[in-house]
Structure 1
Amino acid sequence: MAQDPLSILCIEPHFPGRLGATADWLVRKRGYRCRFYANTPEAREHWPAAVGQGLDLRVFGVGGVAREPAVAWSRTLERSLCYAYGCWEVVDADRPRPIDVVVGRSAGLGSSLFAPVAQPSAPVVNLFDYYLDPHRNDLAADDGPGASPIYTHWRRSAAAVELLDLENAALAWTPTHWQRSLFPAEYRDDLWVCHDGIDGRRFDRARRNGPRTVAGRTIPASSRIVTFVARSLDRVRGFDRFWNLARALMKARSDVVCVVVGDPVVHRGLDVTFNNRDYRAVLMERAPLNDVDRLFFLGKTPPETVAEVLSASDLHVALGRPYPVARSVLEAMAAGCVVLASDSPPYREVLDDGRTGLLVDPDDPDAVLRAALSAVDDPAAHRPLGEAAAERTRERYDQDVCLPRLADRLEELTNSRNGR
């Protein structure tokens, strides 16, 4: 073990992003000191509690193409280098000491790429989310056949930053085995699988007698609440499939209420057709709801509201394309929700059909509706699924299970560098 709590330097384009919760846990539970460098911090209501209490946030700027709100795919590498250089400028000017280890998130932007120039003695640990295949996963099947050559060529080169970060890392780390399987065989064996976990303390399935309240709205106990949660409402996360299911459910049952959390504007370059567009408005025009009063859009909400929504949910829908499973799915499991998800490899890694959730072919609307109706028709019969999902989350995906493993690896890496 290290003689003293580690001092770590975290780098991610956005804060809190993915590493914010990890840094918060390491500070609170292990006594680490953390300097977190990010380009775009979210509103303070989304910040973890440790900010200012051992977790210090530093914002770095970027220049050139990185400042543009929409960047052509062909300029992705240039944009990534702008982020990495902007971060290096601030780290080099600050010269924070001591730094035992650098923890970065590649996220297609490689912001930790130049960190060794400013911190040559600190090993770099990189978190990898996704290795983009030119022809498979995410929306490749939906958009690939009719996409422009510019887009298809970009997909063939988009993983360049991940390859640079893989070469730069003393430890390459990814959350799931499915995510690991996406990477080239030359790197796959060196990728360490460890989920960064969720904060299970935020979720409580205790039901109160009488009406439930979601974001200030009172919902009768007799209603069936169906939920969807994502950072933005896009096709990668299956919002189009949820929309069609919601329309069918509200037509079939007058007591169904749907609650949606997420930014209606698509913020994912992978969604070439709808990026930077209000996708909710697009769907509203293409397939209007038969009862708009029973679908609540909460927009982007703080973590406390997400927990409230999931704790009230009777059925949580996650019909996403093949892509890393959203944290909100694990949070729904932790809240004891019955989760209806796509029967695809990323979801099969975290859910077992009929034991901890319901897996369906997302391209079979009739099968999706049957599964959803079975859950809302008889919540009591399906409650064991939610209870088993919550237990699985406690055993495999809670921060207090996952992050001690990460802390141990960080300390082993630092000790070996220091000859301890």
Structure 2
Amino acid sequence: MKILCIHQNFPGQYKHLAPALARLGHQVVALTPKVEKPTTWNGVQVIPYRINGRSTQGIHPWVLDFETKVLRGSCCYRAALALRDRGFEPDVILAHHGWGESLFLKDVWPKARLGLYCELYHLSTYPMLDFDPEFPAKTGEGEALRIRLKNLNNRLHEEVMDAGISPTRFQAATFPEKYQDRLTVAHDGVATDVIVPNPDARLEVTDGRVLTRDDEVVTFINRNLEPYRGYHIFMRALPDILRRRPNAQIVLLGGDEVSYGARPPEGQSWKQIYIDEVRGRISDADWARVHFLGRVPYARFLAMMQVSRVHVYLTYPFVLSWSLLEAMSAECAILASDTAPVKEVLEEDVTGRMVDFFDRDGLVERLCDLLDDAPARARLGRAARDFVKCSYDLETVCLPQHLAWVDRLAKAEPRPPQD
């Protein structure tokens, strides 16, 4: 079988699936703007294309998002035409359509089956909109209209989607009813044989200090430190945490940019905004116990999970972070927000503990309780790892689900492009 993968940051969600398909003997080709020259990666032929053009200056802000997707889709379309002219005819196309690249691929290969990674449908109602009253929509009532227009990309893809896959039930449920009979819920998977507890783990933090399991380590991870993942809530709790826990070492992982939600004021970062807000209430001696590591190699991320005594995870009702399941696989004791995506994978006082996203005092209290209760931490950590191994293990659960989904997709009757 000939399989084409489309991802603006390949391999992305196809990190495990694409090589697995290649190992099974399929011809797997990827189109991506991430690379500059053709290359081969784990049996996958990776072909670059360029994204040309830019958004129209002064365009109406409600259509800016869609114009960007059309630009990307048209560039990928031209790359697909060139690939077709060289004789490549895929049986199956696997695409993360969130950036628009796959908008026009059925016009190139109408007989191919298109399987989409359905990450999120943008809902214009609470709690997906206006969940956090601190950050109301800048456009007021018009924000719901802007959000609805963001789904033009989703809606056009629905017309030609032969099958979709979503990593969680929460994410799949955001899509309208007409998608549901073509959606499969299957997570990308957690390498539980790699992400394991390690009593001898060592993590170097700031000033050459090395933390181990003997230290009282509290960890917090965002791809980028920002409100969508509760960074502001955690930072505002930090002065009380440091006061109540004089031996605690606080380790934060994440970049200074924005992955989701509103951008900070020009020239600032959310990271620094909340440091500045709380720093005056934290002594220099206590601040020395706070370690911002930025973005780190995977081995260092793993060591961070392995030395963690309690891992704090907060999120808006949004896409679930891989890092939560990875922390559970490392046998961390988890304290998380009781938002919908978290409650899908965490059970109160069974695989972790939860607190209201906005309850800063509750966060401090529940964190201190957990830090004082070693038997509870051990029990929760073991149960969390057992749950992830049973339900989200990459090799025995999730990858077989994805491979079976591709097999079903290959047998589907392809939906042609529509006018």
Question: Is the TM value for this pair above 0.5?
Answer: yes
**Does 2:62 match 1:62?**
no
The answer to whether the 8 Å contact 2:234/2:360 transfers is no
**Does 2:71 match 1:82?**
yes
Match of 1:118 among 81, 105, 108: 108
Give distance in 1, aligned partners of 2:202 and 2:96. 38
**Does 2:324 match 1:329?**
yes
Q: Report what 1:316 is aligned to.
A: 311
- For residue 20 of structure 1, report the CA deviation from its aligned partner: 2.8
- For residue 221 of structure 1, report the CA deviation from its aligned partner: 4.3
User: How many percent of aligned residue pairs carry the same amino acid?
Assistant: 27
Aligned residues: CA RMSD? 2.8
Secondary structure (helix, strand or coil) at the match of 1:10 reads: strand
Change (3 A) 1:272 1:218: closer
1:376-398 per-position Cα deviation (integer Å, ceiling 9, x unaligned) = 12233311111111111111112
Higher RCO by CA contacts (8 Å cutoff, separation 6 or greater): 2
- For residue 218 of structure 1, report the CA deviation from its aligned partner: 0.7
Secondary structure (helix, strand or coil) at the match of 2:41 reads: coil
Aligned length, in residue pairs:
400
Which one-letter code corresponds to 1:302 in the other structure?
A: P
**Does 2:182 match 1:190?**
yes
Change (3 A) 1:41 1:358: farther
In structure 1, the gaps of 5 or more residues are 1-5, 43-49
- For residue 52 of structure 1, report the CA deviation from its aligned partner: 2.4
The answer to whether the 8 Å contact 1:267/1:275 transfers is no
Give distance in 2, aligned partners of 1:71 and 1:12. 27
Q: Report what 1:167 is aligned to.
A: 159
Q: Report what 2:271 is aligned to.
A: 280
- For residue 293 of structure 1, report the CA deviation from its aligned partner: 1.8
Give distance in 2, aligned partners of 1:223 and 1:126. 44
The answer to whether the 8 Å contact 1:267/1:276 transfers is no
Secondary structure (helix, strand or coil) at the match of 1:103 reads: strand
Structure 1 segment 141-290 matched on structure 2, within 5 A:
141-142=131-132, 145=136, 147-149=138-140, 151-208=143-200, 212-214=202-204, 217-268=209-260, 270-273=261-264, 277-288=268-279, 289-290=282-283
Give distance in 1, aligned partners of 2:394 and 2:413. 26
Secondary structure (helix, strand or coil) at the match of 2:223 reads: strand
- For residue 19 of structure 1, report the CA deviation from its aligned partner: 2.7
Give distance in 1, aligned partners of 2:356 and 2:47. 44
1:56-79 per-position Cα deviation (integer Å, ceiling 9, x unaligned) = 3333222233699x9945311110
**Does 2:130 match 1:140?**
yes
Secondary structure (helix, strand or coil) at the match of 1:142 reads: coil
Change (3 A) 1:139 1:59: farther
In structure 2, the gaps of 5 or more residues are 415-419
- For residue 98 of structure 1, report the CA deviation from its aligned partner: 5.0
Q: Report what 2:417 is aligned to.
A: none
1:329-349 per-position Cα deviation (integer Å, ceiling 9, x unaligned) = 111111111111111221111
The answer to whether the 8 Å contact 1:166/1:172 transfers is no
Which one-letter code corresponds to 1:52 in the other structure?
A: W
Give distance in 2, aligned partners of 1:377 and 1:80. 50
Give distance in 1, aligned partners of 2:195 and 2:386. 13
Change (3 A) 1:314 1:138: farther
Secondary structure (helix, strand or coil) at the match of 2:90 reads: coil
Give distance in 2, aligned partners of 1:274 and 1:190. 41
- For residue 370 of structure 1, report the CA deviation from its aligned partner: 1.3
- For residue 38 of structure 1, report the CA deviation from its aligned partner: 2.3
TM norm structure 1: 0.87
1:162-219 per-position Cα deviation (integer Å, ceiling 9, x unaligned) = 11122221002211111122122232343221112122232121202xx832467412
